[in-house]
Each structure stands twice: as C-alpha cells, then as structure tokens.
C-alpha cells in the first residue's frame, strides 16, 4: 500500500529540481569540513555546539566537558551563518546566476532593500517540537547529519554508518506518517 | 580560528546553495518527492572521505595545532540507536538538523529560531538528566 503511494511520484521524476545544486552544494559542505580538518586535525560537527554553548550558562558536567572546544564551535557556527548569508546575497538574491544553480520553489521569498531573504512555510510547532527531539537525539546519539553524515561516513566509521541509517529510516517513516496525516507544510 | 571561520563559511555556503537550509526541501526528500539530498550527503562525504584518507599520508601533523591526524571514531553502543531514533523523529517532523538550522538563519529564515530554541531546550534536557545520572552513579560507586 505504501508502494502505491510512493512509486508514482518516484517514476515521474526522482530529481524534479535537477541534481547539480545538490551535488555542488554537497561538495562545498565537504570542502568546508575538509579545510578545518587540514588545518587543525579536527573532524567538525555542528551539534556539539548546542551543548558546548550551554557550558557558558550551566555548570552541569555534561556541558562543562566541552569547555575547551566551546570557543571554536561558536566561530564555526558563525561561519556557517555567514556562509549561508553569502549565498543569500549572491544566488538567492539573483545577483549571481549559474547553470549549476536552480532557484527553489518552496517557502516564501521577501525582498528587503535589494537583498532577498527566504522564509520557511513549515509550521512553527513542527519546527519547535522537532527541534527539541533533534536536540535530545543528536546528543544521545553522538552526532547529527554533519558529524555522522559527512565526517563520520567520510572516515568510514561503522558507528556513524549505523547512526545515519537509523535516523534516515526513522525520519522517512516520521515524515511519511506526518504527510499521511494531512499536515502540510 | 580564522581557518575555522573560513571552513564554516564554505560549509554554510554549501548548505545554502544545496537548499538544505530549507526544511521543505529536506521534507521533500523524506517524502520521496526529490532525492537531491542523497547527492548532498554523499557529495560531501566523498570530499571528506578522500581528504581524510590522503591527508595523514602526506602530512605528519596539522599545521595550525600540531595535532596528529586521527580518525575520530565514536564507540558504538545502544545510545547510537536510541539517540539516532529520537533524532530521526525530530528531523522527520521538522525537516531541519543543527547545521542546516544555523545556515537557515543565514539565508534570512528567522522562523527557524523556533527550531533552534527547541534544539537548545532538547540539548539542555538531556544534559541535565545525564549529568545528574552520572553524578548519582559516581556517588553510588563511591559508597561502595
């Protein structure tokens, strides 16, 4: 029955937006992680930031164990925000175009003084509740999509491969269920 | 630090360019409507995979820290499955993960602050719980 729901959409086209923006973006993501590794030997991940930053305001031992890395993790996060902002100022705003880049069709674009910002249409309760579970799960599960998915898979870590398989399958099940319940977006 | 900022910059640009900063696009993947995400994750993992494999053969230690290039292998236990499953429910519900959430803020998506607030709350809840459990375990062990 699930196959009946899924297969027609699949057969139409698995890549309605093409693959180049995904592949090129992925290469940049990998390159960013590699630059840090080359210079410092660190396999970076994005989610430890959540706990390491809490060490500034909480004395709990779980957070304090990340004291030594909390400063660079803030710099890494600021870098990620800035990099996405560079993308927003160039490709998202239409200032730069490329045959490798397909503009999006989702969410809402808004023009603020010549800069195009993008806003999600996904409902806040989904973001908030999902965020709480992501925050709990990523720390118990020892990593997220960047630590396990990009650096862990890149270093052929079996733990990370199992981690990725676990959250991928559960996420697919959850998203399909939420969609079947008629929640959109 | 400037290098970490640069790495983050490239990383964040990639997340923006690949539309992973848009929860809708991630949800479209999980709902089998657009399989582009596979190319992002494997594209990135191929770059890190090649880099992580070649670098230790070429250089003895990282130029900025003097640290040896080691693989950061995390031990496998039940927590990877439990945490991965909780993460999966959250990711499937919201379409956003930590790195993409930071990037989403960068493309102007202030609505994502809901998810970021949730992530900090979630990280705080498990941190307090696990800190206290670790403390009480230590006390019990000490009493023995």
- pLDDT of B59 > 80? The answer is yes
Give backbone dihedrals phi and psi of A53, rounded to 5 degrees, phi first.
Answer: -70, -30
Considering only CB atoms, which chain B residues are within 8 Å of A72? 1, 4
ipTM of the modeled complex: 0.93
User: DSSP letters along A145-165, please?
Assistant: TTIIIIIIHHTT-HHHHHHHH
Considering only CB atoms, which chain B residues are within 8 Å of A122? 23-24, 27, 94-95, 111
Cis peptide before A25 (omega within 30 of 0): no
Under DSSP, is residue B56 helix (H, G, I), strand (E, B) or coil? helix
For B107, the token pair is 């493309």
- Which of these ranges, A6-20, B34-48, B70-84, has the smallest mean pLDDT? A6-20
Tell if the CB–CB gap between A142 and B125 is shorter than 8 Å.
Answer: no
Considering only CB atoms, which chain A residues are within 8 Å of B8? 32, 36, 75-80, 82-83
Span between the terminal Cα atoms of chain B, in Å: 45
The shortest CB-CB distance from A139 to any of B11, B83, B103 is to B83
Q: Please, are residues B96 and B104 in contact by the beta-carbon 8 Å criterion? A: yes
Round to whole Å and give the CA distance between A47 and A31: 18
Considering only CB atoms, which chain B residues are within 8 Å of A178? 92-93
Q: What is residue A46's predicted lDDT score, i.e. its pLDDT?
A: 93
With a pLDDT cut of 70, the percent of chain B lying above it is 96
Q: Please, are residues B60 and B68 in contact by the beta-carbon 8 Å criterion? A: yes
The shortest CB-CB distance from A174 to any of B81, B89, B99 is to B89
Considering only CB atoms, which chain B residues are within 8 Å of A166? 80-81, 84-85, 88
- How close A66 comes to chain B (CA, Å)? 12
Q: What is residue A165's predicted lDDT score, i.e. its pLDDT?
A: 95
Domain hosting residue B135, numbered range? 2-143
pLDDT tens for chain A, residues 1 to 185: 555 555 555 557 899 999 999 999 999 999 999 999 999 999 988 999 999 999 999 999 999 999 999 999 999 999 999 999 999 999 999 999 999 999 999 999 999 988 999 999 999 999 999 999 999 999 999 888 888 988 899 888 999 999 999 999 999 999 999 999 999 88
Q: What is residue B136's predicted lDDT score, i.e. its pLDDT?
A: 80
For B112, which DSSP code?
G
Domains in chain B, number: 1
Tell if the CB–CB gap between B47 and A137 is shorter than 8 Å.
Answer: no
Is A160 part of the contact surface with chain B (CB cutoff 8 Å)?
A: yes
């Amino acid at each position: 029955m699930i196959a009946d729901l899924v297969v027609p959409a699949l057969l139409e086209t698995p890549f309605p937006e093409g693959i180049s923006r995904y592949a090129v973006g992925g290469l940049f993501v990998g390159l960013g992680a590699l630059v840090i590794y080359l210079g410092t030997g660190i396999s970076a991940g994005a989610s430890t930031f959540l706990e390491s930053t809490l060490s500034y305001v909480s004395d709990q031992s779980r957070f304090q164990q990340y004291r030594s890395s909390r400063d660079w993790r803030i710099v890494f996060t600021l870098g990620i925000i800035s990099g996405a902002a560079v993308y927003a100022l160039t490709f998202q705003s239409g200032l730069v175009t490329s045959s490798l880049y397909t503009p999006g069709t989702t969410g809402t674009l808004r023009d603020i003084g010549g800069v195009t910002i993008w806003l999600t249409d996904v409902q806040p309760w989904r973001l908030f509740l999902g965020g709480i579970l992501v925050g709990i799960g990523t720390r118990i599960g020892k990593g997220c999509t960047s630590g396990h998915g990009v650096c862990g898979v890149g270093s052929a870590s079996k733990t990370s491969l199992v981690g990725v398989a676990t959250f991928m399958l559960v996420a697919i099940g959850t998203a399909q269920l939420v969609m079947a319940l008629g929640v959109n977006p | 630090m400037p290098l970490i900022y640069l790495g983050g910059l490239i990383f964040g640009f990639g997340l923006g360019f690949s539309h992973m900063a848009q929860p809708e696009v991630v949800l479209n993947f999980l709902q089998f409507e657009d399989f582009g995400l596979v190319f992002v994750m494997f594209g990135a993992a191929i770059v890190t995979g090649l880099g992580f494999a070649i670098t230790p053969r070429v250089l003895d230690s990282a130029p900025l820290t003097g640290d040896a290039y080691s693989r950061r292998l995390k031990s496998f236990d039940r927590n990877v499955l439990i945490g991965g499953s909780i993460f999966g429910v959250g990711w499937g519900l919201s379409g956003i993960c930590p790195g993409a959430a930071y990037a989403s803020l960068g493309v102007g998506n202030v609505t994502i602050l809901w998810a970021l607030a949730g992530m900090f709350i979630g990280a705080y809840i498990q941190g307090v719980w696990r800190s206290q459990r670790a403390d009480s375990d230590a006390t019990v062990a000490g009493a023995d």
